[in-house]
Amino acid sequence: MSMKIIKNMTMIQIKITPEIITRAKKKAATVGNLQGSITGSLSNVVGAIGEIVVRDFTGATEANSKDFDLLVGNRRVDVKTKRCNTTPSPNYDCSVAAHGTKQDCDSYVFVRILTDHSKAWILGEIAKSEFYKKATRYKTGDIDPANGFVFKADCYNLAIQELDSVKEAQS
């Protein structure tokens, strides 16, 4: 597996290879419409890319659970992936839809993927309990004061700079 990794603060930039895309398409084909997905099945490939780059980076084991995606050592990790048009900045937000509060996981790892699928950024990780202590809750129709975005679903947001570095699986 060839993966070009560039570390920048907690963010890890990864070049998305054709091999990663092939694996993601195969994985996405096995997944139906994800419960609570804001963008529906169109995001299955993007979500699969996010899971694959985190799995490859951390040495995690795929979990295939409704509550979490990966086992990183003994941590049950749910990967949250968003598409983007530019390199993420530390002040950009990571989001968890309100229904995500029910997921039985230990932490979230956030990923951004360029819309052309050329690059991904593993933004960081945070314990689920810590995320909800620090995050701001928005309701459908609320307007984000930082950028004017109108929320399409209830969710919680937290800036990338509030995340910890992603830790690899311990043997």
Report how far residue 158's alpha carbon sits from residue 26's, in angstroms, rounded to the nearest whole number: 31
Whether the pLDDT of residue 170 is over 90: the answer is no
3-state secondary structure of 164: strand
Give the DSSP letter string of 90-149. Answer: TTSEEEEEGGGGG---SEEEEEEEETTSSEEEEEEEEEHHHHHHHPEEE-TT-B-TTT-P
- pLDDT, position 44: 87
In this prediction, residue 1 has a pLDDT band, given cuts at 50, 70 and 90, of very low
Give per-residue pLDDT as tens, 30-48.
Answer: 875 554 454 555 578 999 9
- pLDDT, position 116: 94
Whether the pLDDT of residue 124 is over 60: the answer is yes
- pLDDT, position 2: 43
Residues of the chain above pLDDT 90, percent? 71
- pLDDT, position 5: 43
Task: Give the DSSP letter of residue 165.
Answer: P
More confident of the two residues 11 and 100: 11
Task: Give the DSSP letter of residue 150.
Answer: B
In this prediction, residue 84 has a pLDDT band, given cuts at 50, 70 and 90, of very high
Question: What mean pLDDT do residues 126-137 have?
Answer: 96
- pLDDT, position 42: 59
Give per-residue pLDDT as tens, 51-68.
Answer: 999 999 999 999 978 899
